[in-house]
Amino acid sequence: MSTFQAPKGTYDLLPPKSAKFLAVREAIAAPLKNSGYSYIETPGFENVELFSRGVGESTDIVSKEMYVFETRGGTKLALRPEGTASVLRAALEANLHKAGNLPVKLWYAGSYYRYERPQAGRYRHFSQVGAEAIGAEDPALDAEMIILADQAYRSLGLREFRILLNSLGDKECRPVYRDALQGFLRGLELDEETRRRIDINPLRVLDDKRAEVQKQLVGAPMLRDYLCDACKAYHEEVRELLTGAGVAFEDDEKLVRGLDYYTRTTFEFVHDGLGSQSAVGGGGRYDGLSEMIGGPALPSVGWALGVDRTVLALEAEGIELDLPSTTSVYAVPLGEEARRVLFGVVTELRKAGVAADFSYGGKGLKGAMKNANRSGARYTIVAGERDLAEGLVQLKDMESGEQTAIALAEVVAAVAARLA
């Protein structure tokens, strides 16, 4: 055992579980690749200001959970706690919005970091797949985002998730609601930190999960009563497009999400089999974020889905993914000449697109066959001096146990044909 362990609240992703995580990432990305979204990667750390401006000073993410450090040059940086601000910063820096084809559609996958209290489904290091559509204000784009996430989850076999939907209004109608909500909240018995939120972003108080706070929020003014006609019409079109696509959702008037940049459409994917950490992903429209971080007005919408949480949701529903074996053919050489020849066969199999592995370390037949079994290979190629003298190898079907002698010159084609 090593002297060192993974830091508290983090985890190592190891085989065989890592194959499940990889399959989940690929399943979430598949509908995006099929819908005009291109891959983007951003650094694991950014300037602190990007997140304090973009995500919001009032959020728990910025005020409590960011990993912040100072470089030797005196620059203050933060490990990225979420993906949207970084992706938008990168798109603006590269002037992708000036290429003329809006929206700019991007998808990404990576690790994110928040200093949280570790518990099942909540880690200090976690994995997400996200998507952003930058530079267009269109209800169809908001609906597309939700439909693609729904499609990804259903392709994995998930059925017991729910989609919560709300509208947070825009710069026209939200200030009126904000004033009304602030007036209501100031009359409640709240702790000092929550009172500070009333001044910075009162909508965040609605998102407070504490029972003693939620009890006092009964009778709070509802945002739907303050939406302007344009926001009402926009939200209604999103709802109609989702219904037309056969995507079920629930209206949730208290849904705020934990980031300050959202406007109009906001949504969350929840799974009731995960206990208190029920959100598996979510997102929304963020029309003012580009201007907050110094860019032009670029209305945008996006989401991020948690890979860790999605794996927990699969386990909660008892879903086993059909994961292909990492090895199809395993070569077992008996003797030095066979070692040289079969290593060449394995190389040729790999060139032909067959997943092949080799018995390294000079093990005997019994030990090598145990390794072949553990590898999950469908076929094992065994050869000794006598086989090679006759120009043959033995091909063993690991499912049926049947063993066939095959000409060495034909083994690559024969194995490829059988696997096909």
Q: What is the pTM of this model?
A: 0.89
What percent of the chain stands above pLDDT 70?
97
Residue 178: the pLDDT is 86
Residue 204: the pLDDT is 78
What CATH architecture does domain 329-419 belong to?
3-Layer(aba) Sandwich (3.40)
Q: Please state the rounded mean pLDDT for residues 74-102.
A: 94
Evaluate if residue 138 carries a pLDDT over 70. yes
Same fold, 17-173+227-316 and 329-419: no
Query: For 172, phi and psi rounded to 5 degrees?
Result: -80, -50
Q: Please state the rounded mean pLDDT for residues 281-286.
A: 94
Q: Please state the rounded mean pLDDT for residues 98-111.
A: 94
Tell me the CA distances in angstroms from 138 to 314, 370, 389, one per residue in order.
Answer: 33, 58, 71
Residue 261: the pLDDT is 72
Residue 314: the pLDDT is 96
Residue 338: the pLDDT is 94
Specify the CATH number of the domain 17-173+227-316.
3.30.930.10
Residue 273: the pLDDT is 85
* Range of weakest confidence among 125-139, 253-267, 271-285: 253-267
Residue 200: the pLDDT is 79
Task: Return the domain boundaries, the chain.
Answer: 17-173+227-316, 329-419
